[in-house]
Chain A
Amino acid sequence: MPEKEIQPKAKEEAPAKGERVRSGRVFLPAVDIFETPEALVLVADMPGVPSDKIIVDLRNNHLTITGEINPPLGEKETLLVQEFYTGDFQRDFQLGTLIDQDHIAATMKDGVLRLTLPKAAQAKPRKIEVKVG
């Protein structure tokens, strides 16, 4: 298999939604979303966000993920070259599937959030038996 090189992409800034208390930029994390028969899984790249600064909010099928970063520079550092901007992450999703809200699981490792949203019983796929009549 040929080697695939990663192409750089500028971080996309999140559309402004009201004013924020915290100053600084907000970016849209890159996400993978996939479905298994039991759950909807969302994986988001949020570099610089520690695991205790993640907020996952789900109400009426509206999912919001927010992550706050720690200060990107040490106290006495001055920036010499800047190729990427740093800032918090936030993104909204409208879920089409009914979610079992009591069993949502979230893990955060090395700046990657993995959110498992189990489907509610009535949303799981069912095989329909066709009867011979």
Chain B
Amino acid sequence: MPIFTFREPGWDLFREMERLQRRMSRLYEETLGPALSRWRAGVYPPVNISEDHDHVYVRAELPGITPEDLEITIHEGNLILRGERRIPAEEKDVNFHRRERESGFFRRVVRLPEAVDPAKVEAYAKDGILTIKMAKPEEVKPRKIQVQTA
């Protein structure tokens, strides 16, 4: 199948560009997989977004975080994650060999790939992973259409 076809009349440049873009992104997805979207944002914390039939999930690795340190907001299709990762100070007489774990503030906006119902959002932290589970509104859920026999 040709990637770009020139058709007269009724040829629409914008539609043609859109088609091309769709095919290119499909090509990327097939060859490189979801790895492509890795690290695009460059803001802490990195997130993985997934979906199933009824929900959209956003997950972040935040070891040691407690619910009091987090503030989650949904606003116009954006998910806002704010918080602080605290590493409690050790006693005074300790000497460090290594210090790799990081502490500090974070505030991140994540653009949600689909519409969600802001009233049906749950967030839970387990084993250092924060999961935000958001329900899709009824109208965007995939629906099976029954074909009727005439």
The answer to whether A binds B is yes
- A72 on the interface (CB 8 Å rule)? yes
Q: Does B15 reach chain A (CB closer than 8 Å)?
A: no
Q: Does A118 contact B (CB under 8 A)?
A: no
| 8 A Cβ contacts from A96-120 to B | 109-112
Closest beta carbon of chain A to B100's beta carbon, Å? 4
Query: B128, A32: Cβ atoms under 8 Å?
Result: no
Contact residues, B43-66 vs A (CB, 8 A): 43-53, 56-57, 59, 61-66
Are A6 and B50 closer than 8 Å at their CB atoms?
Answer: no
Query: Are A84 and B101 interface neighbours, CB within 8 A?
Result: no
Query: B44, A83: Cβ atoms under 8 Å?
Result: no
Interface status of B11 (Cβ within 8 A of chain A): no
Contact A83 B96 (CB under 8 A): no
Decide if B127 is an interface residue (CB 8 Å cutoff).
Answer: yes
Stretch at the interface among A13-21, A35-43, A55-63: A35-43
Residue in A6, A74, A110 whose CB lies within 8 Å of B106: A6
B52–A77 touching, CB < 8 Å? yes
- Asked if A110 and B127 make an inter-chain contact with CB atoms under 8 angstroms apart, the answer reads yes
- B interface with A by C-beta (< 8 Å): 34-35, 37-53, 56-57, 59, 61-66, 85, 87, 90-91, 93-107, 113, 125, 127-129
A: residues with CB less than 8 A from B are 3-10, 30-37, 41, 43, 45-51, 70, 72-74, 76-86, 109-112
